[in-house]
């Protein structure tokens, strides 16, 4: 049992926290991991992913399909300004989740800038929320994003992501699909070539 848990324990040491029970249970049998701080994450992307608030991430697995990542960060009251009653809700979760998944995919394909194109279903886990609305603390509320990659076909990747605030399993995007777009093609589309 100790050997099975070794990677998870090392991952928690790097992240600086014990992971919520739900994430811990799903990742107890992972062997080995790759640790990324925010500086390493930013190097992977040609352009800053929208709303990247992930401070650290661990990726379990040496191949894309079957790999799992766990990202951790904090959200603050100012992050929810303009949201209903200043609460964290699905629009916020829907930005955090694809951003963290983008880094996960870019780790395996650093020559690309993965673009989220579709999600089959996006929902709040109301049972975990107990029908309440979640507001971030002044000191910041910790979030966790777990991404699990299921399929890759040519340049299309499919994964599921779950976001948690503390122990509350808040949001889920099933069948979140990304296109692995070459960085140079994005750059050329944004920065027009000089005309002679």
Distance, in Å, from the CA atom of 94 to the CA atom of 55, rounded to the nearest integer, reads: 17
For residue 128, is it within any domain?
yes
Domain containing residue 156: 2-190
Please state the pTM of the whole predicted model: 0.84
Give the C-alpha separation, 118 to 115, whole Å.
9
Q: Indicate whether 34 belongs to any domain.
A: yes
User: Residue 195 domain-assigned?
Assistant: no
The H or E element spanning position 169 is: strand 168-182
In angstroms, the CA 100 to CA 120 distance is 18
Examine residue 196 and state whether it is found in any structural domain, yes or no.
no
Strand, coil or helix: what is 144?
A: strand
CA 65 to chain centroid: 16
Retrieve residue 142's tokens: 């910790």
| 67, pLDDT greater than 90 | yes
- Residue 154 belongs to some domain of the structure: yes
112-157 residue pLDDT tens? 888 889 887 777 666 555 555 577 888 988 899 999 999 999 999 9
Kindly provide the residue ranges of all beta strands, DSSP E only, lying in the chain, ordered along the sequence: 33-37, 54-60, 68-75, 112-124, 141-153, 156-165, 168-182
| Residue 127 domain flag | yes
CATH assignment at residue 20:
3.10.129.10
For the stretch 145-189, pLDDT in tens is: 999 999 999 999 999 998 888 777 778 888 999 999 887 765 565
| Backbone φ/ψ region at 56: left (φ over 0), alpha (ψ -120 to 50), beta | beta
SS3 70: strand
When divided into structural domains, the chain yields a total of 1
**49 pLDDT higher than 60:** no
Asked whether residue 15 is assigned to any structural domain, the reply reads: yes
CA angle 168–174–179, rounded 5-degree value: 125
162 in a domain, yes or no?
Answer: yes
The answer to whether 110 and 168 have CB atoms below 8 angstroms apart is no
């Amino acid at each position: 049992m100790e050997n099975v848990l070794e990677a998870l324990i090392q991952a928690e040491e790097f992240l600086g926290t014990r992971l919520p029970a739900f994430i811990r249970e799903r990742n107890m049998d992972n062997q080995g991991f790759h640790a990324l701080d925010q500086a390493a994450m930013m190097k992977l992307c040609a352009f800053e992913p929208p709303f990247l608030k992930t401070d650290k991430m661990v990726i379990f697995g040496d191949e894309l399909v079957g790999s799992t990542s766990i990202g951790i960060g904090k959200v603050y009251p100012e992050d929810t300004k303009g949201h209903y009653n200043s609460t964290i809700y699905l629009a916020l979760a829907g930005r955090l989740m694809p951003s963290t998944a983008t880094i996960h995919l870019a780790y395996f394909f650093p020559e690309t800038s993965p673009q989220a194109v579709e999600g089959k279903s996006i929902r709040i886990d109301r049972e975990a929320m107990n029908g309440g609305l979640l507001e971030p603390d002044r000191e910041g509320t910790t979030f966790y994003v777990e991404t699990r990659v299921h399929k890759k076909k040519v340049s299309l990747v499919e994964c599921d992501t779950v976001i948690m605030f503390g122990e509350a399993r808040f949001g889920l995007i099933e069948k979140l699909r990304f296109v692995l777009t070459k960085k140079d093609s994005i750059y050329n589309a944004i920065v027009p070539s000089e005309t002679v």
